[in-house]
Amino acid sequence: MAMLQFFIAVDVTVVNIALPSIGADFAVDGPTLTWVVVGYTVAGGGLLMLGGRLADLLGRRRVLLLGTGLFGVASLLAGLAPTFSLLVVARLLQGAGEALALPAAMATVVLTFPEGPRRSRALSVWAAVASCGLVLGFVLSGIITAHLGWRWTFLVAVPFLLIVLLAAILLVEGDRPAATDVPPLDLPGALLLTVCPLLFTVGTVEAGRPATPAWVVPGALAGAVVAGVGFVRVEARSRNPLVPLRCFAHRTRVAANVTTMLLSGGLSTSFLLFTFFLQDRLGIGPLGAGLTMLPLAVSLIACSVLVPRLLGRWGARACVLTGIGCTVAAMAAIALVSALRTGPVTMVPAMVLIAAGMGFGIVGLQYLAVSGVTVDDAGIASGIQRAADQLGGATGVAICVGTGFAPAVHSLDPFLVATSLATAGLVAGAVVVRRMPAPVAAAGPHEPAG
């Protein structure tokens, strides 16, 4: 499960440093290239809850194998894509494969370890692997692009995914017999949940392009609002909703997922700001930029050892607040270093703080987001948490980076604008955590959770 989590996380960031090489090969401009990143994140985040629902209805092992296989095939297609359009399609398929595999994998981890210290340690490893995958994606992207070419940033995962498939077949416990009266899936809800952030991202990204027709931005943003409202109405009326309304009755999980979106938005923003600072401001090449991110990866490994010990002593809430505080401090450091235009070494403190923010914040939030789950709703709870993480990251990048680097604010330092917006979201997340109720213990096999 950790190996699968690692390569799924790597694919979120592995293309960032490789984007200039992809653009040169396919002769596409910078704004168009963003869809290589956004397509994967939005498709994965938008369909994650459908994947979680499928895991609950059809069986975690079945959906895990299906999603991992799709992700592997899509990775192969992305590495061999002869055109840019086919590359974007492959990235969308990768997102769909992630949406199927990841909730099933996380539910397997949650249900394997009982609530308490063992689950805390397991989720700490799970979150640490994801965080390291996100950061090492930058490092690997620089190394692979410089020596093998950008196509290998996708192809390198294929043999490891074959190992995951084999291990899942041999080691993961089999599912219960599939029910013959499986209720119909909420496909309209899944579609609206994917379209809403996709249109929002279109509106935000295209707002920074002078050549964009005037109607595109307001039309896309209005469509996002309509899709969001439509999703809520569909879920309220559906007999088999993608997200059962009872999920919103568990206040601790709701607060944890809202905070996850806000924290992920800040963390994802920091990744791109690091890349822009190193490559655009300082002119460092792909290999140098990737290697400069090593302190972040090393710090995450240290946090993966430290956080499991502190989670049991401090509690999840204190860990989350510590993570948010570290991320706020990192934003201030990024803004200061970019304003002073100093060398790459001066960005190391911000990288260490981001690592602490991820290590403490995401681990604590993952624990809170699955508090009180049972075998019947572990998949959907895991899917909601992962969707909040991915969609929060995509939305945060669209708002913070899109606004910060838009032509309308070019009179201001784009790094200052982006970090200020991210900080505002992080402060809101801290307020939500402070007010959230205490976690509820897991219910028994025949008791309702929450």
Q: Of the segments 9-13, 226-230, 267-271, which one has the largest average pLDDT value? A: 226-230
Q: How far is CA 345 from CA 240, 351, 424, in A?
A: 53, 10, 27
pLDDT in tens, 310-330: 877 888 889 999 999 999 999
Centroid of chain to Cα 401: 16
Helix, coil or strand: residue 399: helix
Residues 6 or more apart whose CB falls under 8 angstroms from that of 342 comprise none
Cα angle value 252/255/259 (rounded, 5°): 135
Cα angle value 258/260/263 (rounded, 5°): 115
Q: How far is CA 51 from CA 64, 73, 224, 339, 386, in A?
A: 9, 18, 22, 43, 10
Across 374-412, b (16+ Cβ under 10 Å) vs e yields beebbbbbbbbbbbbbbbbbbbbbbbbbbbbbbeeeeee
pLDDT in tens, 105-134: 888 888 888 777 888 788 778 877 877 787
Q: Of the segments 128-132, 179-183, 196-200, 336-340, which one has the largest average pLDDT value? A: 336-340
Least confident span in 45-59, 99-113, 220-234:
45-59
For residue 161, the model assigns a pLDDT of 93
DSSP label of 412: S
Going by pLDDT thresholds of 50, 70 and 90, the confidence category of residue 446 is: very low
Average pLDDT value over all residues in the chain: 83
Token pair 């699955």 in the structure block, residue: 370
Q: How far is CA 344 from CA 14, 274, 288, 335, 360, in A?
A: 20, 9, 10, 14, 25
Distance CA 170, CA 388 (A): 31
| Phi/psi-derived region of residue 373, left when phi > 0, alpha when psi is between -120 and 50, beta in every other case | beta
> Which of the two residues, 351 and 380, has the higher pLDDT score?
351
Distance CA 265, CA 322 (A): 17
Helix, coil or strand: residue 327: helix
Q: Evaluate if residue 33 carries a pLDDT over 50.
A: yes
Q: Evaluate if residue 444 carries a pLDDT over 60.
A: no
Residue 80: CB atoms within 10 Å: 13
The mean pLDDT value for 234-254 works out to 80
Q: Are 89 and 282 in contact (CB under 8 A)?
A: no
**In the chain, what percentage of residues exceed pLDDT 70?**
91
Burial tier of 415 (Cβ tally within 10 Å: 0-12, 13-18, 19+): buried
Burial tier of 14 (Cβ tally within 10 Å: 0-12, 13-18, 19+): buried
pLDDT in tens, 128-153: 787 778 777 877 888 888 888 889 99
pLDDT in tens, 173-190: 777 665 556 667 788 888
DSSP label of 315: -
Q: Are 363 and 311 in contact (CB under 8 A)?
A: yes
Q: What is the pTM of this model?
A: 0.78
Residue 29: CB atoms within 10 Å: 10
Is 1.10.1040.10 the CATH number for 2-176+242-435?
no
Where would I find the H helices in 276-398?
A: 286-292, 294-314, 316-340, 348-356, 363-369, 378-396
For residue 442, the model assigns a pLDDT of 41
